[in-house]
Structure 1
Amino acid sequence: MEELIAYILKFGSLNKQQIDLVASKVKQIELDKDEYFSEAGKIPRQVGFVLNGVVRGCYYNNKGEEITRCFISENNLAVDYANFETNTASAEYIQASTDCKLIVFSKQDWDELSHTIVGWDNIKNKMVQQCLYQKSRKSPVISQDATTRYLEFLENYPTLANRVALSHIASYLGVTQQSLSRIRKNIK
């Protein structure tokens, strides 16, 4: 819980009573590797904060190939926020890449904080902007060669190369697993 409160306080200040209220609105869940936090075709119903582990945002392209769009590791929000806010079905999955522990807010509790805590919307908006920025900033530039994309992946996600499946990294980079293995062998 301390990690979540420290994260929230990076974006604004709350008094003890407000912190206690936030803490009362969450529950901790565990996801097994490959389990879904939210699914395409369903309305996202919760905002997650990753305590331990890595989740990934992914979707299927028009050829039926699985594409990893982003990785979300410890001390970050995990949510398909646009669909969560508008109560619309998602086109993406958020899936555990490793065994995970998350703190989650239900939609009702997340909204209730906006109605109860003065300034929560400002804090929430800053957290969501950070979440969206991290997702967009770290996606690879397909015009770069594959080796450059992999090196940028290592720079952006220094702890993930040995934690998540190579197939997920390959799909994130837009290369085959065989190509990724060659790249990794060549840069060692």
Structure 2
Amino acid sequence: MKELIAYVLQFGNLNKQQADLIAGKATEAELRRDEYFSEAGKIPRQVGFVVDGVVRGCYYNNKGDEITRCFIAENNLMVDYVNFEANTVSSEYLQACTDCKLVVFSKQNWDELSQIIVDWDHIKNKMVQLCMHQKSRKGPVISQDATTRYLEFLENYPSLINRVPLAYVASYLGVTQQSLSRIRKNIR
């Protein structure tokens, strides 16, 4: 829980009582590798904070191919916020790439913090903006060649290459696993 509070304090000031209240509204949870935090076709009902592990945001394109859009590692918020707030059905999945330790807020508890803590909406908005910026695919630009995209992935996510399946990395980069293997071999 201390990781969550340290994260929140980056976006605003809280006294001990407020920090304790936030911690009291959250629960610790575990997500096993390949389990979903939220799923397409369902309304997202919780906000998560990754304490340990890696989660990926993914969806299926119109050809039925699974596309990895982003990776969310430790000390980051994760939520399909637009659908969470609007109480509408999601078109994306948040899936654990590794076993994960999370801190989770139910929608009710997340909303209650706005009613109790004076500056919570301001803090929450800053956290959500960062979350949405990270989730918006800041990674590979398909007009770049595959090697450049891979090198940018390594720069943006230096700790992930040995933690997530290469199939997810290939999907994120928009290449086949075979192409990714060739790229990696040529770089070494």
> What range describes the TM-score normalised by the shorter chain of this pair?
over 0.9
Q: Once the 2 structures are TM-superposed, how far is the Cα of residue 137 of structure 1 from its aligned partner? A: 5.5
Q: Which moved more, 1:36-45 or 1:136-145?
A: 136-145
Cα pair 2:80 2:90 within 8 Å, conserved: yes
Question: Which amino acid in 2 is paired with 1:133?
Answer: H
Q: Once the 2 structures are TM-superposed, how far is the Cα of residue 46 of structure 1 from its aligned partner? A: 0.4
Q: Once the 2 structures are TM-superposed, how far is the Cα of residue 107 of structure 1 from its aligned partner? A: 0.2
Question: Which amino acid in 2 is paired with 1:97?
Answer: C
Quote the RMSD (CA, aligned, Å).
0.7
Question: Which residue of the partner structure matches residue 157 of structure 1?
Answer: 157
In 2, the alpha carbon distance for the partners of 1:153 and 1:136 equals 14
In 1, the alpha carbon distance for the partners of 2:183 and 2:80 equals 32
Stretches of structure 2 that go unaligned for 5 or more consecutive residues are none
Report the count of equivalent residues.
Answer: 188
SS of the aligned residue for 2:162 comes to coil
* TM-score using structure 2 length: 0.99
In 1, the alpha carbon distance for the partners of 2:108 and 2:142 equals 39
In 1, the alpha carbon distance for the partners of 2:136 and 2:63 equals 23
In 2, the alpha carbon distance for the partners of 1:126 and 1:65 equals 33
Q: Once the 2 structures are TM-superposed, how far is the Cα of residue 138 of structure 1 from its aligned partner? A: 2.8
SS of the aligned residue for 2:127 comes to helix
State the percentage of identical aligned residues: 78
Q: Which moved more, 1:54-63 or 1:137-146?
A: 137-146
Cα pair 2:37 2:96 within 8 Å, conserved: yes
In 2, the alpha carbon distance for the partners of 1:101 and 1:73 equals 11
Cα pair 2:46 2:79 within 8 Å, conserved: yes
Q: Once the 2 structures are TM-superposed, how far is the Cα of residue 136 of structure 1 from its aligned partner? A: 2.1
Stretches of structure 1 that go unaligned for 5 or more consecutive residues are none
In 2, the alpha carbon distance for the partners of 1:139 and 1:94 equals 17
* TM-score using structure 1 length: 0.99
